[in-house]
Chains A and B, each alone.
Chain A
């Protein structure tokens, strides 16, 4: 098998975030670098939030997918600078989030008090319930029109 950077990215496209399974790690923008060094593949990833408990699992999943695709030697490195930002999330990822019921990050503001678009009924008549949601990367909102509570992926 001839390893190319493109073929490695195809493998990485199969690794999803265990906490937001509609997003691949490429959608999230946490894959920072892929390198071929002699016989070894070096993949550099970064965490979204400092204490994100999904990181160890994501690293393990990368190893498994790479092994399944026939890559023998894979090294995973972690970088923290520059710090991850939702600017690195793909547009496709934002669409997937919305379809999944999570409001995508809105770069106009980090945590708006209200005005986040409800992923279910598209109303902007919504209110912030808590800056902290079911995972570190999300805040909790409620729609005043359809009354549904929903997660908002914080602009970070």
Chain B
């Protein structure tokens, strides 16, 4: 059974919005090598987004293209989780969020490889090779910051406190996911184990409270998505059809 349009858009939107967020570091990274690393990860994510949008556009038909889906949909039509739209924060927040997201994405794509929709399976198979890099890079930063100085540890702790409320949404099954063959709630246990293993090495603790913030998959976003879309979509909305 082919994947539904909303599900493909959800996968695309997650990748696009986090890619756009990470791209804010381009030219501002703490050191050149890490600036390049986070920009590379952005590029990988935007590449994923393009593949999913191209497929979504074929399913939607009519005048839809990857560009119209990225640039001309409104905030409420985006199906990304809230975690990816949160401001980039400091380096601790960015790398921790990447670790949470990439660990999730790896588990999800490992399941999607056998999805009955071959197009989805192919995108997942191609992406996994890159997501492995993202997981390794971000987990190394979590350990480095957690096991680093008093300052780096305090910042990572703040990042954990700030991002944890959004984590639960990763595993909340939305209607469009019921038919998707991957029940994301089934990924939570192994995801938590992987986070725990890294946190143990970093000397950090997983918060006891469960995160309460959600709504992104339904199109109910935090105030931050509107701003990111305004910046990202400005050109296409001001100069419709503009190409260069």
- Which of chain B's residues 28-54 have a Cβ closer than 8 Å to chain A? 33-34, 36-37, 40-48, 50-51
Q: In the complex, A50→B137 CA distance in Å?
A: 18
Q: Shortest CB–CB separation between residue B165 and chain A, in angstroms?
A: 30
**With a CB–CB cut-off of 8 A, which chain B residues contact A49?**
43-44, 47, 130
**Contact status A83-B44, CB under 8 Å:** no
**Contact status B33-A132, CB under 8 Å:** yes
**Contact status A136-B43, CB under 8 Å:** yes
- Give A85's nearest chain B residue, CB to CB: B129
- Give A79's nearest chain B residue, CB to CB: B122
Q: In the complex, A129→B51 CA distance in Å?
A: 31
**Contact status B126-A81, CB under 8 Å:** yes
**Contact status A156-B129, CB under 8 Å:** yes
**Residue B224 CB within 8 A of the other chain:** no
**Contact status A47-B47, CB under 8 Å:** yes
**Contact status B36-A50, CB under 8 Å:** no
- Which of chain A's residues 124-142 have a Cβ closer than 8 Å to chain B? 129-134, 136, 140
Task: Give the dominant DSSP class at B's interface.
Answer: helix
- Give A129's nearest chain B residue, CB to CB: B33
Q: In the complex, A129→B31 CA distance in Å?
A: 12
**With a CB–CB cut-off of 8 A, which chain B residues contact A70?**
none
**Residue B136 CB within 8 A of the other chain:** yes
**Contact status B136-A131, CB under 8 Å:** yes
**With a CB–CB cut-off of 8 A, which chain B residues contact A51?**
42-48, 50
Q: Given that A50-B48, A129-B33, A140-B33 are known contacts, is A83 also in contact with B129, CB under 8 Å in the complex?
A: yes
Binary CB contact string for chain B from 105 to 149 against chain A (1 if under 8 A, 0 otherwise): 000000000000010011101110110010011000000000000
Per the CB 8 Å criterion, the residue count for chain A at the interface is 20
**Residue A21 CB within 8 A of the other chain:** no
- Give A52's nearest chain B residue, CB to CB: B47
Binary CB contact string for chain A from 116 to 156 against chain B (1 if under 8 A, 0 otherwise): 00000000000001111110100010000000000000001
Q: In the complex, A134→B35 CA distance in Å?
A: 11
Q: Given that A130-B36, A132-B37 are known contacts, is A53 also in contact with B43, CB under 8 Å in the complex?
A: yes
Top 6 closest pairs, chain A to chain B, by CB: A51-B47, A50-B47, A81-B122, A51-B43, A132-B37, A130-B33
B-side residues, CB < 8 A to A, are: 33-34, 36-37, 40-48, 50-51, 118, 121-123, 125-127, 129-130, 133, 136-137
* 26 sample A-B contacts, Cβ–Cβ < 8 Å, listed by A number: A47-B47, A49-B44, A50-B44, A50-B48, A51-B42, A51-B43, A51-B44, A51-B48, A51-B50, A52-B43, A53-B43, A80-B122, A81-B121, A81-B126, A83-B122, A83-B125, A129-B33, A130-B33, A130-B34, A131-B133, A131-B137, A132-B37, A134-B36, A136-B130, A140-B36, A156-B129
- 15 further A-B contacts with Cβ under 8 Å, apart from A50-B127, A80-B122, A156-B129, are A47-B47, A49-B47, A50-B50, A51-B42, A51-B47, A52-B43, A53-B43, A83-B122, A83-B126, A84-B126, A130-B36, A132-B36, A132-B137, A134-B36, A136-B43
